[in-house]
């Protein structure tokens, strides 16, 4: 049995409730449809200060759509989401000032260099020179991208692009971080540093909304997990709360997830079919 | 792998390359708009289909243009002109060469930066097969253009001479010309994109980019001049080539593509044994050898694409992380300038208004004084050309626009920054007029005010255009085309109105002071109205 042992600081539910202030992210009835397809179907979500909230779900469940709506990249079909109390659709300027966003695939101006990109971002956000230079140096050294600072982003490796995107998201020290599968392209060292940074971020009262489909990451990193399935949060809480919800006392997060998303029997059927077809192929 | 299989397979990497080229530049042209999900999931399949349709349509339109351009020089002979065809063939080859280069550079960016399809390298194909597929997908980028231009050249030479042999030699000359054109496009793309992607930013890279930009400008202007002056040039050049003992003819016979043109002409006349014809034939053989070398180089370059054709990371490593800061509008404009200059086509468009104004002034250079009408026409046409820039600046946002969308940016910051660039690149057009006014007396001293009014009008027009391009997402292709036209027409109307007011005022009063005053007043009112519209929206 896996126990819930975070490798970085994660505030307990009690600590979170002690800190309770207004939620830094609050979504109500968030709905997004593409034609007849509903990517989000009335999703409700609340992320408190000091929390790393993991959105856990299979591909196409609505994780990225939730993050993109919160970041102000797309508008919901219905419902609303507020960041630090600012409505992301009605007051996007104030909402976006509170956010640092890292997309699953880095979205950057690829013809610029990292220095030019940060110059653009820091200028637009109205940051001070001292703050920018100190923060840029710290982050660039931590993620080992100083040498690439004058190299066009288009020519950087996917991992380095991801690091640049993370630096850009952290540059202005926003209270809310929206991270869409941020560890995907990172090496072990950078993953560790990012996790530590997230830990420090929530210790200072910030909040992180984090999407992943990797159970281990969610289990180790997040103080609360929301299981998203077909555009809705079907369960949320820490691992014990999720186990209780699933009625599986000693289950791993993967088992809980399978149970709550009703995928366990479907997966078993698929595996059985595959096994049979492989044996049939070998028999021929 | 059989060549037929490789050709069939090459359609896939070609489609991928066409898609990437269009996606790089068009995130806000054909789908979505600011704040409305340019990359929303539902549109992805449709987006790919649309991109490929655009690529095919684009190639067909350019091919039609190349055919018209390559055929036009033969019109005098078709209409009964009695002089030889050397100059016509030369002009036709020059125009098709330049157009192949221009089109090639635009479509080859994906090829040069990342190869046609990295996926090919992961398939169980031998290296030779991958190279063959790459070669064919490369051929697909300009197949219509090459075939179209060569077929029409062969057709017209055969028609005008009434003989198969010159037509056959034209086929050979057209093939050599196409190889040279495609090779030049490949080289130009490689040098330009590697200068951007392969090295640290610096003065050297900037100078190289500027030099390439000017070379690009010369090619574009060359086409314009060839078109504009074809009617005068063909008989003139033909006369020079036909005059024995003229040194100019001998020199021209060695210059590409005159050598090919003179060779075709001399074959049509039964291999005239003049010095010019002999020199041209000798030079043609040399150019044939060069074409062989060029084709081999092109093929080896294309074959190396699977190994990664991009410049990758430069050898220069940064040592500090200092970040300069600016006002938001300036920062956005700087970002746009950097992004725009990273693309040869869009970079050249930044210089186009000044080039256009210069061309107009050169055309009217024979006039003893610099008249108000010349300034008005030059500035208005320069202003009309600058109206392309808002669309270019919006298009070059590319997929990176999502990065800007996550920032606390007001729409007006983006609009004013792009309008600032569009207006700034129009300023050299006014400078050209003022330099001309120093060299030539002005017909009316008040006409110096005309460029100022034009600058105000261009500022108003580009501000409105950017706002319209960013603001509304059309639904459906027909609506898109209609709205795109309407946006451009709105800008054109704003540029034309002050010039029209000037013309009407002058026609009724013959008073330059009143006419220029009216022009400035209208242009100022336009700018104020548009600024207020953007501020409120």
Closest CA to B355 of B429, B421, B423, B424: B429
Least reliable range by pLDDT among A58-62, B63-67, B133-137: B133-137
Q: Which stretch of A216-225, B65-74, B234-243 has the lowest confidence by average pLDDT?
A: B234-243
Instruction: Check pLDDT > 70 for residue A56.
Output: yes
Please, what is the Cα angle at B22 between B396 and B335, to 5 degrees?
15
Region of poorest pLDDT, from B299-303, B378-382, B457-461:
B299-303
Distances, alpha carbon B292 to alpha carbons A60, A220, B177, B484, in Å = 53, 63, 11, 45
Element (DSSP H or E) covering residue A31: strand A25-34
Position A280 pLDDT exceeds 80: no
Listed by number, the residues of chain B in 362-421 with a beta carbon closer than 8 Å to a beta carbon of chain A are 398-400, 402-410, 413
Flag whether pLDDT at A79 surpasses 90: yes
Pairing of strands A232-237, A224-229: antiparallel
Higher pLDDT, A3 or B498: B498
Long-range (24+ apart) CB contacts under 8 A made by B211-215 are: B212/B188, B212/B344, B213/B341, B213/B344, B213/B347, B213/B348, B213/B351, B215/B188
| C-alpha count within 13 angstroms, C-beta hemisphere, residue B2 | 3
Alpha helix ranges (H) inside chain A: 13-19, 63-70, 92-97, 114-125, 129-142, 158-170, 188-203, 215-221, 239-246, 253-260, 264-283
Report the C-alpha gap between B14 and A69 in whole angstroms: 35
B255 three-class SS: coil
**Chain B residue closest in CA terms to A115:** B323
Across the range B223-252, mean pLDDT stands at 69
Contact B318 A150 (CB under 8 A): yes
Q: Does residue A205 carry a pLDDT above 60?
A: yes
The answer to whether the beta carbons of residues A97 and A141 sit under 8 Å apart is no
| Ranges A110-124, A189-203, B134-148, B239-253: which has the least confidence | B239-253
Which pLDDT score is estimated for B419?
Answer: 93
Residue A19: pLDDT over 60: no
Local confidence band at B245 (pLDDT 50, 70, 90 cut-offs): low
Instruction: Please tell me the predicted confidence (pLDDT) of residue B312.
Output: 46
Lowest pLDDT segment from A202-206, B220-224, B512-516, B518-522:
B220-224
For the cut 50, the answer to whether the pLDDT of residue B31 exceeds it is no
> A89: which DSSP letter?
T
B33 pLDDT band (50/70/90 cuts)? very low
The total number of residues shown for chain A amounts to 284
Closest CA to A21 of A54, A53, A50, A52: A50
Report yes or no on whether pTM surpasses 0.80: no
pLDDT at B244: 61
Q: How far is the C-alpha of A52 from the C-alpha of A240, rounded, in Å? A: 16
Give the integer Cα–Cα distance in Å for A141 and A135.
Answer: 10
Residue B313: both structure tokens together: 């990371």
Q: Between A216 and B403, name the one with better pLDDT.
A: B403
Q: Give the one of B113, B322, B332 whose C-beta lies nearest to A124's C-beta.
A: B332
Strands A86-87 vs A78-83: parallel, antiparallel or unpaired: antiparallel
Task: Indicate yes or no: CB of A108 within 8 angstroms of CB of B400.
Answer: yes
For chain B, the 3-state helix, strand and coil shares in percent, each to the nearest 5, are 80, 0, 20
What is the four-CA torsion angle of B199, B204, B209, B212, rounded to 10 degrees? -120
Note whether B257 and B93 are within 8 A (CB): yes
Q: B45, B327, B403: best mutation site toward chain A, by most A Cβ within 10 Å?
A: B403
CB-neighbour burial class of residue B165 (10 A; exposed 0-12, middle 13-18, buried 19+):
middle
Higher pLDDT, B66 or A18: B66
Q: Nearest by CB to B400, which of A96, A97, A107? A: A107
Which residues contact residue A3 at a Cβ distance below 8 angstroms, ignoring those fewer than 6 apart? none
Q: Measured between CA atoms, how close is B303 to chain A, in angstroms?
A: 20
- Gap between the Cα atoms of A233 and A241, Å rounded: 14
**What are the C-alpha distances in Å from B11 to residues B4, B136, B302?**
11, 8, 16
Q: Which is higher by pLDDT, B347 or B246? A: B347
Q: Please tell me the least confidently modeled range out of B28-32, B272-276, B287-291.
A: B28-32
With 0-12 / 13-18 / 19 or more C-beta atoms within 10 angstroms meaning exposed / middle / buried, residue B264 is buried
Is the pLDDT confidence value at B311 over 50? no
Contact (CB<8Å) A107/B316: no
Residues 217-256 of B with CB under 8 A from A: none
Structure confidence at residue A111 as a pLDDT band (50, 70, 90)? confident
Cis peptide before B129 (omega within 30 of 0): no
Mean pLDDT of chain A, nearest integer? 85
Q: What is the ipTM of this complex?
A: 0.83
pLDDT-derived band at B522, boundaries 50, 70, 90: very high
pLDDT of residue A2: 33
pLDDT band at B229 (very low <50, low <70, confident <90, very high): low
The token duo for B174 is 């057209």
Substitution target from A63, A77, A111, A149 for chain B, most B beta carbons within 10 A: A111
When pLDDT is cut at 50, 70 and 90, the band that residue A42 belongs to is: very high
Mean pLDDT (whole number) for A244-262: 80
Q: Which one, of A64, A70, A50, lies nearest residue A104 by Cα?
A: A64
* Cβ-Cβ contacts under 8 Å for B55 (sequence gap 6 or more): B15, B18, B19, B21, B22, B107
The secondary structure of B443-462 as a DSSP string is S-GGGGHHHHHHHHHHHHHH
Q: Which of A224-238, A258-272, B521-535 has the lowest mean pLDDT?
A: A258-272
| pLDDT given for residue B50 in this prediction | 64
Distance of alpha carbon B408 from the chain centroid: 35
What is the DSSP track for A47-69? E-TT-EEEEE--TTSSHHHHHHH
Please provide the average confidence, as pLDDT, over all residues in chain B: 78
Q: How confident is the model at residue B317 (pLDDT cuts 50, 70, 90)?
A: confident
How far from the centroid of its chain's Cα atoms is residue A4's Cα?
19
User: How far is the C-alpha of B215 from the C-alpha of B217, rounded, in Å?
Assistant: 5
Residues of chain A with Cβ-Cβ distance to B36 below 8 Å are 74-75
* DSSP summary character for residue B201: -
pLDDT at B203 over 70: no
Q: Write out residues 468-527 of B within 8 Å (CB-CB) of A.
A: none
The closest CB to that of A73, out of B197, B314, B406, belongs to B406
State the pLDDT at residue B129: 80
The answer to whether the CB atoms of A120 and B335 lie below 8 A apart is yes
Query: Are the C-beta atoms of residues A248 and A55 closer than 8 Å to each other?
Result: no
Task: For residue B244, give the 3-state DSSP assignment.
Answer: coil
pLDDT of residue B115: 56
B320 confidence band (pLDDT: 50, 70, 90): confident
| Residue labelled with tokens 């030539």 | B440
Quick one: pLDDT band at residue A3, thresholds 50, 70, 90? very low
User: Using only C-alpha atoms, what is the Rg of chain A?
Assistant: 20
How would you label B507-523 residue by residue, b for 16+ Cβ within 10 Å and e otherwise?
A: eeeeebeebbbbbbebb
Å between A97 CA and nearest CA of chain B = 5
Is B262's pLDDT higher than 90? Answer: no
Q: Among residues of chain B, what percentage have pLDDT more than 90?
A: 21
Identify the weakest region by mean pLDDT among A75-84, A166-175, B14-23, B318-327: B14-23
Structural domains of chain A sorted by starting position, each given as residue range(s) with its CATH number in brackets: 13-98+174-283 (3.40.50.300), 110-169 (no CATH)
* Res B289 pLDDT > 90: yes
pLDDT interval class at A8 (50, 70, 90): very low
Which residues in chain B are closer than 8 Å to A109, comparing Cβ atoms? 335, 339, 398, 400, 403
**Across the interface, do B408 and A146 touch by the CB < 8 Å criterion?**
no
Residue of B nearest to A38 (CA): B42
What is the C-alpha to C-alpha distance for residues B226 and B73, in angstroms, rounded to an integer? 10
CB spacing of A116 vs B338 below 8 angstroms = yes
Which residues of chain B are within 8 Å of residue A75 when distances are taken between CB atoms? 35-37
Q: What is the rounded distance in angstroms from the CA atom of residue B124 to the CA atom of residue A63?
A: 36
pLDDT at A16: 46
pLDDT tens-digit readout, B4-15:
888 888 887 777
Q: Where are the domains of chain B?
A: 3-20+44-303, 328-536
Q: Considering only A145-159, A199-213, B341-355, which range has the smallest mean pLDDT?
A: B341-355
Identify the weakest region by mean pLDDT among A7-16, B252-261, B441-450, B505-514: A7-16
């Amino acid at each position: 049995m896996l126990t819930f042992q975070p490798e970085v600081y994660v505030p307990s539910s009690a600590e979170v409730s002690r800190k309770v202030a207004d939620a830094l992210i609050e979504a109500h009835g968030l709905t997004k449809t593409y034609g007849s397809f509903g990517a989000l179907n009335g999703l409700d979500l609340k992320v408190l200060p000091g929390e790393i909230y993991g959105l856990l779900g299979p591909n196409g469940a609505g994780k990225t759509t939730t993050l993109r709506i919160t970041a102000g990249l797309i508008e919901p079909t219905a419902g609303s989401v507020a960041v630090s109390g600012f409505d992301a659709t009605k007051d996007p300027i104030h909402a976006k000032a509170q956010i640092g966003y890292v997309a699953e695939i880095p979205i950057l101006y690829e013809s610029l260099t990292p220095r030019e990109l940060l110059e653009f971002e820091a200028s637009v956000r109205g940051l001070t020179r001292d703050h920018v230079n100190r923060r840029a140096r710290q982050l660039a050294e931590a993620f080992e991208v100083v040498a690439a600072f004058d190299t066009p982003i288009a020519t950087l490796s996917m991992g380095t692009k991801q690091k640049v995107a993370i630096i850009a998201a952290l540059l202005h020290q926003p209270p809310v971080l929206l991270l869409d599968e941020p560890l995907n392209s990172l090496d072990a060292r950078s993953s560790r540093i990012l996790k530590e940074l997230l830990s420090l971020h929530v210790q200072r009262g910030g909040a992180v909304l984090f999407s992943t489909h990797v159970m281990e990451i969610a289990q180790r990193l997040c103080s609360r997990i929301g299981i998203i399935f077909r555009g809705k949060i079907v369960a949320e809480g820490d691992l014990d709360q999720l186990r209780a919800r699933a009625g599986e006392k000693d289950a791993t997060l993967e088992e809980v997830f399978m149970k709550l998303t009703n995928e366990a029997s479907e997966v078993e059927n698929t595996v059985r079919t595959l096994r049979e077809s492989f044996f049939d192929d070998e028999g021929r | 792998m059989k060549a037929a299989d490789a050709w069939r397979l090459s359609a896939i990497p070609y489609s991928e390359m066409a898609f990437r080229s269009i996606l790089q530049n068009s995130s806000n042209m054909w789908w979505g708009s600011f704040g409305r999900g340019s990359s929303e999931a539902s549109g992805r399949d449709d987006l790919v289909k649309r991109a490929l349709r655009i690529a095919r349509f684009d190639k067909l339109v350019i091919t039609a243009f190349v055919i018209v351009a390559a055929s036009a020089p033969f019109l005098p002979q078709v209409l009964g002109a009695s002089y030889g065809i050397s100059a016509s063939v030369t002009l036709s080859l020059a125009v098709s060469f330049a157009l192949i280069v221009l089109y090639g550079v635009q479509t080859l960016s994906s090829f040069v930066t990342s190869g046609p399809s990295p996926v090919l390298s992961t398939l169980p194909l031998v290296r030779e097969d991958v190279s063959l597929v790459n070669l064919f997908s490369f051929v697909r980028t300009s197949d219509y253009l090459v075939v179209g231009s060569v077929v029409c050249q062969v057709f017209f030479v055969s028609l005008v001479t009434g003989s198969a042999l010159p037509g056959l030699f034209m086929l050979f000359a057209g093939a050599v010309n196409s190889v040279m054109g495609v090779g030049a496009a490949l080289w130009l793309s490689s040098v330009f994109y590697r200068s951007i992607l392969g090295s640290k930013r610096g003065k050297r890279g900037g100078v190289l980019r500027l030099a390439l930009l000017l070379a690009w400008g010369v090619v574009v202007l060359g086409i314009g001049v060839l078109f504009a002056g074809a009617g005068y040039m063909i008989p003139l050049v033909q006369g020079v080539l036909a005059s024995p003992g003229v040194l100019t003819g001998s020199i021209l016979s060695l210059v590409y593509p005159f050598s090919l043109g003179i060779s075709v002409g001399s074959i049509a006349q039964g291999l005239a044994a003049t010095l010019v014809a002999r020199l041209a034939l000798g030079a043609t053989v040399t150019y044939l050898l060069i074409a062989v070398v060029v084709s081999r180089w092109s093929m080896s370059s294309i074959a190396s694409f699977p190994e990664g054709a991009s410049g990758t990371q430069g050898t220069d490593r940064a040592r500090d992380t200092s970040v300069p800061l600016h006002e938001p509008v300036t920062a956005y404009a700087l970002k746009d300038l950097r992004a725009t200059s990273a693309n040869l086509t869009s970079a050249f468009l930044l210089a186009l208004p000044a080039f256009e104004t210069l061309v107009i002034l050169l055309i009217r250079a024979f006039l003893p004084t610099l008249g108000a009408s010349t300034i008005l026409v030059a500035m208005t046409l320069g202003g009309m050309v600058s109206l392309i820039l808002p669309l270019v600046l919006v298009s070059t946002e590319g997929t990176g626009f999502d990065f800007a969308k996550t920032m606390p940016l007001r729409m007006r910051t983006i609009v004013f920054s792009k309008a600032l660039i569009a207006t700034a690149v129009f300023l050299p057009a006014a400078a050209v007029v003022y330099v001309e006014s120093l060299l030539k007396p002005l017909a009316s001293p008040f006409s110096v005010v005309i460029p100022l009014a034009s600058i105000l009008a261009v500022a108003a027009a580009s501000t409105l255009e950017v706002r319209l391009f960013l603001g509304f997402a059309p639904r459906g292709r027909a609506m898109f085309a209609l709205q795109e036209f309407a946006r451009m027409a709105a800008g054109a109307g704003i540029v034309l109105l002050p010039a029209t007011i000037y013309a009407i005022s002058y026609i009724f009063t013959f008073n330059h002071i009143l006419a220029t005053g009216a022009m400035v007043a209208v242009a100022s009112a336009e700018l104020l109205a548009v600024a207020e519209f953007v501020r409120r929206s």
